[in-house]
Each structure stands twice: as structure tokens, then as C-alpha cells.
Amino acid sequence: MSSAIKILLADDDKEDQLILSDAFEQIGITNVVHFVDNGENALRHLEQCYVENALPQLIILDLNMPRMNGTQTLRLAKKDERFKHIPIIIYSTSLNNIEKDECIRLGAHSYIIKPLTFSEYVKSAQYFYNLCSTN
């Protein structure tokens, strides 16, 4: 499969990063996800991608991160003309309807609860990849 599709995933949980990385490998997709551990680093990475004319096709944000959480990062990315066209998925361990509604209002493509099993992670990885393929 193509390695041209790039996904930026911001999540401070190294275990979640590793499991999702394994899930992408399971479906034959490697070297397409760039991991960062907080919202500040996500925005910094987007800046660098913009300079290199290589913006990701999808951004996935964990909701609860240190320094800058997913909602704050979403808000700033959607206000920036350079990044507002990129779909952003909020990827959280819990469903907080108030937070979910706020994220959707701010422009999130969707709000997804993190999987509990590896097979669900594989399905999520395929969904993320498919979303990139249709953009």
C-alpha cells in the first residue's frame, strides 16, 4: 500500500501509539503515521510540514494531553487557514458528550472512542487509512 498518505497522531500515551502502529502494520501500512506527544508538538509539526509542502491528510488528536489538549489543538488548527482543510478526528478513552459536542462545533470530523481490543485498533487503523484515501 502507498506510503504517501500521512497521518499526524498526537497522543501522550506511548502504549496507545505502539498498539496503533502495530495495527497499521497488521493491515500492511507502514511509515504513514507521525506520532507526537502533545498539541504543541502537533502544531509545531504542522508548521514544519507546511514549510516542506507535505501536510498530512489526516490529524488524530487524543483529548487529554499535557501542555495543550486535543480541544485546544483542534481550535487552533481550525483557525489557521493553512490547516483548516485537514480533517481532524478526536480520539479519546471516554465519551464526554459536552466535550464531544464542543469538538464537533469547532470543526472536528468525528469523535471516536479508543478501542479496547487489538482487532478494534486494526479496524480503527483501516478507517483512518480509508479516510485519507478519500480526501
Query: Is 131 inside any structural domain?
Result: no
65: left (phi over 0), alpha (psi -120 to 50) or beta: beta
pLDDT value at position 2?
A: 41
CATH code, domain with 98: 3.40.50.2300
Compute φ and ψ for 8, nearest 5 degrees.
-100, 120
**Local mean pLDDT, 10-residue blocks, the chain (135 residues):** 72 92 92 92 94 92 91 96 95 88 95 94 94 71
pLDDT value at position 134?
A: 63
**Model confidence pTM above 0.85:** yes
**Domain coverage including residue 22:** 7-117
pLDDT value at position 43?
A: 96
Query: Is 48 inside any structural domain?
Result: yes
Look up cell 498539541; give the residue: 39
CA–CA separation, 83 and 49 (whole Å)? 10
